[in-house]
Amino acid sequence: MSKKKVTEDTFGSSYKKLEVILAKLETEIEDHSLEEIIEKYQEAINLLKICRKKLDEAELKIEKLSTEEEN
Amino acid sequence: MNSPVSVSELTRDLKNTIERNFSFVFVKGEISNFKNHSSGHFYFSLKDSKSQISAVMWNSRAKDLNFMPEDGMSVLIKGRITLYETRGSYQIDAFEILPSGVGELQIAFEKLKKKLYDEGLFDERYKKPIPLYPEKVTLITSETGAAFHDFIKVTENRYPLVRILLIPAIMQGANSAESICSAIKKANSVAYKSEIIVITRGGGSIEDLWTFNEEKVARAIFNSKIPVVSAVGHEVDFTISDFTADKRAPTPSAAAEMIFPDAYDLKLRLNVSENSLKRHIHYRINKLKNELSSIERNYYFKRPADLINEFRMNLDALDRDIKSVTAGKFRNIKTNIETNRKLLNSLNPENVLKRGFAIIRRDERIVTQSSQLKIKDEIQIRFSDGESDAIVK
């Protein structure tokens, strides 16, 4: 399951997760133990890495739906 | 050449030849002699300055027309040529009549706009949101058009993370409406799950853009399950499709700018996120550090000897308590002993003898009453300083 998730990581999903963690750290930082906060921090750093990698390595892909294939 | 053919044989031949070769025609002209028959069929002629041709639109199609043709109206007709054998005349069997003069187009535009508006097709509540960070986008346009290149160029600069599925379509003229409708259908049915459909073409005359004012195109856009962005023509060109689309962009480039975030901005935002992340964790760690050092600064942690001394003083106090308690006990016991000694002393028979009393014994037994003695009994008398023997008389 977790393997599948890794391959499904997209810029959008990673960026949204990052935003959720940041919002949590901003509003609920007092509610979590240091261990939880550090775990979230590491997750966020990892997401940042994924997002940057996606942006740096992105290359526009254009596919054409051939009409012959449809017929 | 030898044997003549009959009129009907010739007519049949002509019919076959004509109908096979003109099974689809797209003609422009002006309507004249228009008759709306009680049966619902339309009969008219289509003419230009030099020629004219008879035309018919059967009621099955005429009832779907969203405007009423009139004499003098410029129109585009899609249909086929049929030959009516009885009279040996040919005519256009019109499938579709589209207004083509600017005036007519404007009227048709307003009519369709009102009709679809009344049906609620432009309602905000039907507008689907455009996803923020799309992964897959379908582009319906002409491969050779400037719109395609403009859109791709902006996308490449702005958000190269996306995958574009191009569905080529005819963007103007005959068959364009069918082509666009079928492309929308394909985009919705194909396994390739697009999050957005962009329909785009560059600017042109009102006739060039007319396809996007056709009811079936407007409805196909409205019915798409995937959100549709319509980017047709230039800033000033509004089409009915723009109103039924989920979002309208003024130009092909603007469509790309509208739906894709700018990767450069995203990188800046990631930096901001990282800074704020670090700030938060440092804040939390510093707070914990402060709590720890405030515990360290606590009085007892600072001077452990004081704590021990305090315990020692407590011990001393306890020691004193124990001593005073035991000393008291000893004093009481001493007093008791002295009292008892005096009491015992006062009871000592020696003292009684000293006061002049004596103890009489006979046969080693103490005699306490005179009746116990008889004459001649030998007795011993004990005094405080010694004994004497005596005989009772």
* Interchain proximity A62–B152, CB inside 8 Å: yes
Q: Where are the alpha helices (DSSP H) in B297-389?
A: 299-302, 304-347, 349-354
Per-residue pLDDT reduced to its tens digit, A30-53: 777 778 888 888 899 999 999 999
- Nearest Cα of chain B lies from the Cα of A35 at a distance, in angstroms, of 11
Query: Domain check: are B147 and B161 in the same one?
Result: yes
CATH value at residue B194: 3.40.50.10550
Residues whose CB is less than 8 angstroms from the CB of residue A37 and which lie 6 or more positions away in sequence, other chains included: A25, A29, B281, B284
Gap from B252 CA to chain A (nearest CA, Å): 16
Residues B317 and B364 in one domain: no
Domain residue extents for chain A: 2-70
CATH number at residue B15: 2.40.50.140
Tokens representing residue B213 in the block: 């004012």
Could you tell me which of B259, B252, B262, B247 has the C-alpha nearest to residue B151?
B252
Same domain, B215 and B304: no
In a shared domain, residues B159 and B223: yes
Residue type at position B340: N
Interface mutation vs chain B, best among A14, A60, A61, most B CBs within 10 Å:
A60
Per this entry, what is the length of chain B? 393
Let me know if residue B361 belongs to a domain.
Answer: yes
pLDDT digits (tens, 9 = 90+) for B331-364: 888 888 888 888 888 777 777 788 888 888 888 8
Torsion over CA: B16, B22, B24, B27 (sign)? negative
- Give the minimum alpha-carbon distance from A27 to chain B in angstroms, rounded to a whole number: 10
Beta bridge partners of B136: B163
The pLDDT value given to residue B5: 92
Question: B261, B291, B311 — which closes off a domain?
Answer: B261
Residues B198 and B250 in one domain: yes
Q: What is the pLDDT of residue A2?
A: 43
Average pLDDT, chain B: 89
pTM for the predicted model, two decimal places: 0.64
Residue A66's closest chain B neighbor by CA?
B167
| A65 chain-B contacts, CB cut-off 8 A | 165-168, 186, 190, 192
Q: What per-residue confidence (pLDDT) applies to B370? A: 83
Element (H, E) at B389: strand B386-391
Do B163 and B249 belong together in one domain? yes
- Give chain A positions within 8 Å (CB) of B186: 65, 70
pLDDT digits (tens, 9 = 90+) for B130-139: 999 999 999 9
Report yes or no on B74 lying in a domain. yes
Query: Over 60: is that where the pLDDT of B384 sits?
Result: yes
* String of DSSP letters for chain A: -HHHHHHH--HHHHHHHHHHHHHHHHHHGGGS-HHHHHHHHHHHHHHHHHHHHHHHH---EEEE--HHHH-
**Whole-angstrom distance, CA of residue B9 vs CA of residue B269:** 80
B164 and B96 within one domain? no
* Cβ pairs A/B, distance under 8 A: 94
In a domain, B269, yes or no: no
Query: Which own/partner contact pairs does B95-103 have at CB distance under 8 Å and 24+ positions apart?
Result: B95/B61, B96/B61, B97/B57, B97/B65, B97/B69, B98/B210, B98/B214, B99/B67, B99/B73, B99/B74, B99/B75, B100/B28, B100/B74, B100/B75, B100/B76, B100/B207, B100/B210, B101/B73, B101/B74, B102/B206
- Asked whether residue B293 is assigned to any structural domain, the reply reads no
Same-domain pairing of B356 and B335: no
B195 lies in the same domain as B232: yes
Q: Is B149 a domain residue?
A: yes
Is the complex ipTM more than 0.95?
no
Structural domain total, chain B: 4
Nearest by CB to residue B168, choosing from A10, A22, A64, is A64
Q: Are residues B252 and B337 in the same domain?
A: no
B120-147 burial, b at 16+ Cβ within 10 Å, e below that, comes to ebbeeeeeeeeeebbbbbbbbbbeebeb
Q: What is the extent of the structural domain holding B384?
A: 350-391
CA distance A12 to chain B (A): 5
For residues B29 and B157, state if they share a domain: no
Contacts of B274 in chain A (CB under 8 A): 45, 48
User: Would B266 be classed as within a structural domain?
Assistant: no
**pLDDT, tens digit, for every residue of B302-340?**
677 777 888 888 998 888 888 888 888 888 888 888 888
Check whether residue B244 and residue B118 sit in a common domain.
yes
Q: Is B142 on the interface with A (CB under 8 A)?
A: no
Which of residues 250 through 279 in chain B touch A, CB cutoff 8 A?
263, 266-267, 270, 273-274, 276-277
